[in-house]
Amino acid sequence: MSEENRKQLEKETEQNEQIEAMGQVVLQENDKNYHIHLLSIIGEVEGHESLPNNSKTTKYEHVLPKLAVIEDSKEIDGLLILLNTVGGDVEAGLAIAEMIASMKKPTVSLVLGGGHSIGVPMAVSADYSFIVPSATMVIHPVRSNGMFIGVMQSYRNIEKIQDRITGFIASHSHMPQKRIEELMLDTSQLVKDVGTMLEGKEAVKEGLIDEVGGISQSLEKLYELIRQQKCNGNFA
């Protein structure tokens, strides 16, 4: 085996290991020579408590350090986030969303399958967001498990958390906070729940997501954002 083939094999093996372990890989074979970090957020977002082993999860203690590494890296030009999540831990999901939103590196998100519950803030946290036509976004009120010691105090706490979420979504999308709250409290759509399910085109029409598109459109947009940043001399 030639030295070139050996290096290529080692590279492919490393990429496969990254995908298997973390759902992450660096895309660098494009004709623009940009290094794109691909981050997938799938299943349920795991917070401070571990979920069962048979659950497909994204662990926030893995994602947060990786985002810091991406932001600090001279090698990475941009971040592409793939989302197919049912939601999960509110604090963990919001922490990931805030981290993405604060990055200087160009970021693009693509919703595949679903971006439900706390997945909504993560989807809109990127500089630009896409959704495939068949994907759905579910907006619903914050829920809490466990015993309520003080009903009014617990309600106010949940209300504050909910305000943080709706405020974040409104500030990172084109959907007004009032409209988000209206969809969140809709009783006519979900049979066993309160809230609203938006399909791809509906999410764009409401101003929640920027554009309907897939992987090629997402990458082209990210290339455009990277090119703009490099032309402006604005490097992270």
Positions marked active-site: 117, 140
* Phi-psi map region of 164: left, alpha, beta (phi>0 left; psi -120 to 50 alpha): alpha
CA angle 126, 199, 58 (to 5 degrees): 50
Q: What CA–CA distance (Å, rounded) separates 130 from 99?
A: 19
List the Cα angle 202/90/83 in 5-degree steps. 45
CA atoms of 203 and 173, how far apart (whole Å): 11
User: What tokens does 71 get?
Assistant: 């932001």
CB 28 within 8 A of CB 78: no
Closest CA to 170 of 179, 183, 161: 179
**Bridge-based pairing state of the strands 128-131 and 211-212:** parallel
Instruction: Give which of 112, 138, 145 is closest to 214, Cα–Cα.
Output: 112
Q: For 133-171, b where at least 16 C-beta lie within 10 A, e where not — what string?
A: eebbbbbbbbeeeeeeeeeeeeeeebeebbebbbebbbe
